[in-house]
Amino acid sequence: MRITVLTGAGISAESGLATFRASDGLWEQHRIEDVATPEAFARDPGLVLRFYDMRRAAAAAAQPNAAHKALARLAAHHDLTLVTQNVDDLHERAGSPRVIHMHGALNRACCAACGHRWPAPATMAVTDFCPACSRPTTRPDIVWFGEIPQHMEEIWAALQDADLFVAIGTSGNVYPAAGFAQHAGRNGADCLELNMDASSNARDFDRRILGPATRTVPDWVD
């Protein structure tokens, strides 16, 4: 059976990483949608870099939880494609062999000019130079609102092929991820949602198991 899993901020909540909804979408009195955009980075790069430095430090201090570890076990016995909206590396640190980060990763920097990617330092500065082209055009390797998500061809193919699509800890508010269940369902997949409460796209799912991911994901996997 081919399984495609999509995770959101909720799977990392019990590792201590704030979700977007629980943090009431604010950071330093800015709406997250106003910080996580190319316009915000152009307007005030220092503010945006501080936002990601803080998130990078929080992710580094966090530990994978039972839900991340259960998905790593699932990969050992099933044809699994794991897609995450999250930018932390808790899936990798839990042992998942292949994680598709559609919204980028906190631990990577990239060059807006030449596209080069490299491991991000703990804190990034506006004056950082690209190690490949030496231009001062570095930025976090994060997909901001209004930007095109990464690995979309591979993701659409995995949704097309899935026999089972499982969304874990995502509110279903951000596209294109919020449309994945509908896409998989239209291609014959059974769609299951594991969440604390029903998501905004609840109508796209055949089944739902509510509860904390550290209980529902191991129960489902094992």
Can residue 34 be called a binding residue for ligand BV8 (CB under 6 A)? no
DSSP letter for each residue of the chain: -EEEEEE-GGGGGGGTPPPTTTTTTEETTEEHHHHSSHHHHHH-HHHHHHHHHHHHHHHHH----HHHHHHHHHHHHSEEEEEES--S-HHHHHT-S-EEETTEEEEEEEETTT--EEEPPSS--TTPPPTTT--S-EEEEE--TTSPPSSHHHHHHHHHH-SEEEEES--S-STTGGGHHHHHHHTT-EEEEEESS--TTGGG-SEEEES-HHHHHHHHH-
Q: Is 107 annotated as a binding residue?
A: no
- Using CB under 6 A as the binding rule, the residues of this chain from 141 to 200 that contact ligand BV8 are 142-149, 152, 169-171, 173-177, 195-197, 199
**Binding pattern for the stretch 41-80 against ligand BV8, x by CB under 6 A and - elsewhere:** ----------------------------------------
Can residue 13 be called a binding residue for ligand BV8 (CB under 6 A)? yes
Nearer to ligand BV8, 32 or 163 (CB): 32
Residue (of 2, 1, 7, 18) closest to 180 by Cα position: 7
- Is 151 a residue of the active site? no
Choose which of 87, 111, 124, 159 interacts with ligand BV8 (CB under 6 A).
87
Interacting stretch for ligand BV8, rule CB under 6 A, among 7-15, 91-99, 126-134, 158-166? 7-15
Interacting stretch for ligand BV8, rule CB under 6 A, among 15-23, 70-78, 112-120, 130-138? 15-23
Measured from the CB of residue 13, what is the shortest distance to ligand BV8 in angstroms? 4
Catalytically annotated residue among 103, 116, 151, 183: 103
Residues taking part in catalysis? 103
- Binding-site residues for NAD(+), in ranges, read 8-27, 85-88, 169-171, 195-197, 213
